[in-house]
Amino acid sequence: AKIVILAGDGIGPEVAREAEACLRLISGARGLGLTFEDHLFGGAAIDASGDPFPEETQRACENSDAILLGAVGGPKWDGGSVRPEAGLLKMRGTLGLFANLRPARTYAGLESFSPLRADIVKGADMLVVRELTGGLYFGDKVEGTEEASDLCTYSRGEVERIARVAFEAARKRRKKVTSVDKANVLATSRLWRRVVTEVATQYPDVELEHALVDSTAMALITHPTRFDVILTENLFGDILSDEMSVIGGSIGLLASASTGTTGTAVFEPIHGSAPDIAGQDFANPAGAIASAAMLLDHLGHSAEARILEAAVEQAIAGGFRTRDLGGGTRCSEFGEQVRLSVD
Amino acid sequence: AKIVILAGDGIGPEVAREAEACLRLISGARGLGLTFEDHLFGGAAIDASGDPFPEETQRACENSDAILLGAVGGPKWDGGSVRPEAGLLKMRGTLGLFANLRPARTYAGLESFSPLRADIVKGADMLVVRELTGGLYFGDKVEGTEEASDLCTYSRGEVERIARVAFEAARKRRKKVTSVDKANVLATSRLWRRVVTEVATQYPDVELEHALVDSTAMALITHPTRFDVILTENLFGDILSDEMSVIGGSIGLLASASTGTTGTAVFEPIHGSAPDIAGQDFANPAGAIASAAMLLDHLGHSAEARILEAAVEQAIAGGFRTRDLGGGTRCSEFGEQVRLSVD
Ligand SMILES: CC(C)[C@H](C(=O)O)[C@@H](O)C(=O)O
Ligand SMILES: CC(C)[C@H](C(=O)O)[C@@H](O)C(=O)O
């Protein structure tokens, strides 16, 4: 299978390097036949071509089986007319990446790093399934100096397909879906609630509850263990998945997958490009490596995905901690440690 | 001054009763000349007239100097064609209540009730200034079974006036405004950011920072003490103010004010109608009483507002705790206790 590596900006290259090395090791050891190709993306691509998602990268992505992304953006490009994040949105649109999956949980031994009380956060383990190509993100925009507008639209089909992703994911977990909307105010939310309720009838083994986005923002903090799969629209997913990402102690640990209609999919750690520590070997590559595990799952190599995940857990349990977790382990050392236990 | 009491549904009447009794006591003792009128609102008004904000209530509100609201809604009206919450939106629109102010802080002695670690939450004290009559809430809606849409619009004037409210509030606090938007995606957010930056030039003594809504959802949990005034648009304000409301330990403690263009303003605790404990004298009236203190401020009676606030703090510090704070104090007892220290 063909893997495209988009190392990106800031700490992107260093964490992507560790994740790629893990994939190469596993591919070699287990004869998976993965091949790797580097391409420009984000700020690095703007510098080279003026476009954060250039034609050439786009074609490589379209012809790939999976994409591993490091991180994008940084102050260097903040003032410019083209922003690196525009590349992310263009990629989501072009590759039809309508489903963003973001798991978060507490790691044994890291409870004290959570900003939440240990008794509240203990055992939390959830997955946000965020719709990624609809809603306010891709609706018509009017950009004025006196007035501006953004249109939020959803169609039945868009809601159906993301709902199915959530119910399928719940079947492999604790069989509960919390669908989050603002049905007491928004027309799109009322459509969302109706369609999700219909889709649920095809999954009688999965429990469905509806919740409002404002009360969910509270419950994620007061009762994080109540949640299994959280299904929601694009902007609510952006906010809630970031909110829940901090409960585990470090966003450096967290992975994500964006899957779509074309077969290929993007795997990336949820952290940003952290320009302040870039190039210093301080970054936590656990999120990137956990993303590589999700990539293996996507390619059907579930046994290998579990091996890689277990190796990350073992490294953490073994006390190997990067700076975000108060330790002195370097990014490259952590990757090396993971590869030692994979072997 | 003429005060309209909208007791509403669930625990609304019991908490509003305690707050009104506090206002009556202070008005009598200090010769403020407040008068009180009860009117129907929410589910109670639907039962009586089919309208959650009937004509008669509307006229009384328009002719009032301030409105004290208990709580609205409940499962009884959830299936109906008219929902009590529609009354809230209609009231905001009719009375032009464009600014919603929600303070939250930790109370001495209650740190252990916060879901956040005590070392993280200690000293947190912030105010959300939420735009309340624009954005997705009041934009055009298309309500279909195959497709739906909601329009988010903001005009320069709408942003200017709410920004001014935030900067004025910051002047009376720690002189910092965090303006929250999603300027990397939304046209309305880019207008928002531009206009807020312009308004800030008139407040050189106040520090302004811009932040994205997703990273703010994280920072509220990881660094709650970083914030002073948080200025944001309607839907982001709905989500973030609910999120930050749980950090203090109980939403039963929190007050809010909605001010507008017509002179009158609405004061209400942020908690819901809690139908499960309604009528049992278990509710925490501290939020309603703190709202009454904000009402006194609005009427220019700041000395009396401070007295009432201090009395609430004293009752809490004295160990009088309602059920939400693990205590056995009844709603009516707590109110009585507050009035004893006002005297
Ligand atoms: C960079 C930004 C456009 C993006 C989003 O809002 O989707 C980011 O916050 C994310 O969650 O991937
Ligand atoms: C009931 C609902 C319409 C309302 C809102 O979203 O504004 C509520 O959540 C609030 O914050 O006052």
**A12, A267 Cβ separation under 8 angstroms:** no
Domain B125-246: top CATH class? alpha beta
- Helices B12-30/B331-342 angle, 10° precision: 10
List chain B domain ranges: 1-100+252-343, 125-246
Conformational region of residue A50, where left means phi above 0, alpha means psi within -120 to 50, and beta covers everything else: left
- Smallest CA separation from ligand 1 atom 7, residue: A238
| Ligand (nearest to CA of A269) | 1
- Helices B12-30/B302-317 angle, 10° precision: 120
| Ligand (nearest to CA of B241) | 2
Rounded distance from Cα B184 to ligand 1 centre (Å): 8
Out of A165-169, B62-66, B80-84, B220-224, least confident range? B80-84
**A118, A111 Cβ separation under 8 angstroms:** yes
Task: Kindly state the greatest CA–CA separation across chain B.
Answer: 61
pLDDT value at B278 more than 90 = yes
A154: annotated active-site residue: no
Q: Does B256 touch chain A (CB under 8 A)?
A: no
Q: Does A81 touch chain B (CB under 8 A)?
A: no
| pLDDT at residue B283, as a whole number | 98
Q: Give the containing element (helix H, strand E) for B25.
A: helix B12-30
B242: annotated active-site residue: yes
Pocket perturbation via mutation, ligand 1, pick of B180, B184, B189, B215 by most ligand atoms within 8 A of CB? B184
Output the average pLDDT for chain B: 96
pLDDT value at B9 more than 90 = yes
| pLDDT at residue B289, as a whole number | 98
Give the Cα separation of A97 and A95 in Å (integer): 5
B71-110 in b/e form (b: 16+ CB < 10 A) is bbbbeebeeeeebbbbbbbebbbebbbbbbbbbbbbbeeb
- Smallest CA separation from ligand 1 atom 11, residue: A238
Residue B85: CB within 6 Å of ligand 2?
A: yes
Question: Hey, what are B178's tokens?
Answer: 């965090």
Rounded distance from Cα A238 to ligand 1 centre (Å): 7
pLDDT value at B14 more than 90 = yes
Which of A150, A197, A210, A244 is the mutation pick for testing B, counting most B CBs within 10 A? A150
The fold of the A1-101+252-343 domain, in CATH, is Isopropylmalate Dehydrogenase (3.40.718)
A107: annotated active-site residue: no
At B328, is the pLDDT very low, low, confident or very high (cuts 50, 70, 90)? very high
Kindly determine whether residue B238 and residue A150, on different chains, have CB atoms separated by under 8 Å.
no
Q: From the CB of residue A31, how many other CB atoms can be counted at a distance below 10 Å?
A: 8
The strands making up A141-143's β-sheet, listed across from edge to edge, are A141-143, A147-155, B147-155, B141-143
By Cβ distance, the residue of A186, A214, A215 closest to B150 is A186
Instruction: Tell me the backbone φ, ψ of residue A26, rounded to 5 degrees.
Output: -65, -40
Residue A293: CB within 6 Å of ligand 1?
A: no
Q: pLDDT tens string for chain A (343 positions)?
A: 999 999 999 999 999 999 999 999 999 999 999 999 999 999 999 999 999 999 999 999 999 999 999 999 999 998 888 989 899 999 999 999 999 999 999 888 888 899 999 999 999 999 999 999 999 999 999 999 999 999 999 999 999 999 999 999 999 999 999 999 999 999 999 999 999 999 999 999 999 999 999 999 999 999 999 999 999 999 999 999 999 999 888 999 999 999 998 899 999 999 999 999 999 999 999 999 999 999 999 999 999 999 999 999 999 999 999 999 999 999 999 999 999 999 8
- Smallest CA separation from ligand 2 atom 10, residue: B238
| pLDDT at residue A35, as a whole number | 98
B175: annotated active-site residue: no
The fold of the B1-100+252-343 domain, in CATH, is Isopropylmalate Dehydrogenase (3.40.718)
> Average pLDDT for residues B280-303, to the nearest whole number?
98
| pLDDT at residue B109, as a whole number | 83
Q: What's the start-to-end Cα distance of chain A, in Å? A: 21
Residue written as token pair 């994911």 = A169
| pLDDT at residue A109, as a whole number | 82
Give the Cα separation of B200 and A329 in Å (integer): 43
Q: Does B212 touch chain A (CB under 8 A)?
A: no
> Average pLDDT for residues B59-87, to the nearest whole number?
94
